[in-house]
Amino acid sequence: MVDTAKFWDRAARKYAAAPIRDMASYEYTLERTRSHLRPDHRVLELGCGTGSTALLLADAVAAYTGTDISGQMIRIAREKAAAGPEGLHFEVAGAGDAVRGTASCDVVLGLNLLHLLRTPEAVLRDAHARLSEGGLVITKTVCLAEPSLGPKRFAFAALIPLMRAVGKAPFVQRFTFAGLERMIQAAGFELIETGTGPAMSRYIVARKR
C-alpha cells in the first residue's frame, strides 16, 4: 500500500494533463457552486488537486485558499496560478490539518474528496468549527455503495482493494447517498441542496447550524 501523499504526487503530472472526463458534470458542479458564492466570501478548498476549479472560482470571492496533501499537485497549481487572480493562494496540507486552522472562513469546498478521507466525520466537524455563522460546506463525492447507481459501480468498487494492493488505487470509502448525507448532518449542518448531476456523484451543499 502506498502512502496517500506519494500516491497523489505520482499521479499529479498525468492528472494535470488529462482532459476533464465528463464536461457536463464538471459544468454542473461549477455552475451550482458559483451560485452559492458571494464577493465577500473566504473560501477554503480541500483536496484542490492542480487548482483548476480554484482558478475558475477565485474571481467570484474575496479570498480563496486551495489546499492539497500532494506537494506535486500544489506545485502545478501554483504554476497555473502564477498570473492568476489576486486573493488566490495554494498550500500543501492534508484535509485534516487544513481545516483545523484558526482563521474563520465562509465556505469549505471539497470536490471528489470525502470518499478519499479515512476520517471524513472529523474533517466535517472541524470544518463546522472553522466556518463563520451560516457558513457552507460544499462537496461532491463518489458514492460506490449507492444502490441506485446500478451494478457497474459495484464491479468497480470490488476492484479497488486489488488495485490498492499494487499501488494503483488510493484508499476509498464506500458511501451511499443517504449515509453521506447523514454524516454531514451529524457534523452540525443542514442540507440546503443535494443533486447527482450527470456523473451521479453526490453534490451536496450544507449550511452550518
Binding site for ligand SAM (CB under 6 A): 4, 8, 46-49, 68-70, 73, 94-95, 111-113, 116-117
Cα angle for residues 195, 116, 6 (degrees, 5° grid): 145
Identify which of residues 116 and 144 has a Cβ nearer to ligand SAM in the complex: 116
Question: CB 21 → ligand SAM: shortest distance, Å?
Answer: 10
C-alpha cell of 134?
451560516
Report the distance separating Cα 204 and Cα 4, nearest Å: 25
Least distance from ligand SAM to the Cβ atom of residue 46, Å: 6
Give the E-state strand segments of 3-102 in sequence order.
Answer: 42-45, 63-68, 88-92
Q: How far is the CB of 147 from ligand SAM (least distance, A)?
A: 23
Q: Closest CB to ligand SAM among 117 and 204?
A: 117
Q: How far is the CB of 149 from ligand SAM (least distance, A)?
A: 18
CA 55 to chain centre: 15
Residues composing the chain:
209
Biggest alpha carbon–alpha carbon distance for the chain: 46
Cα–Cα distance for residue pair 122/73, rounded to 1 Å: 24
Output 57 or 149, the one with its CB closest to ligand SAM: 57
CB closer to ligand SAM out of 25 and 209: 25
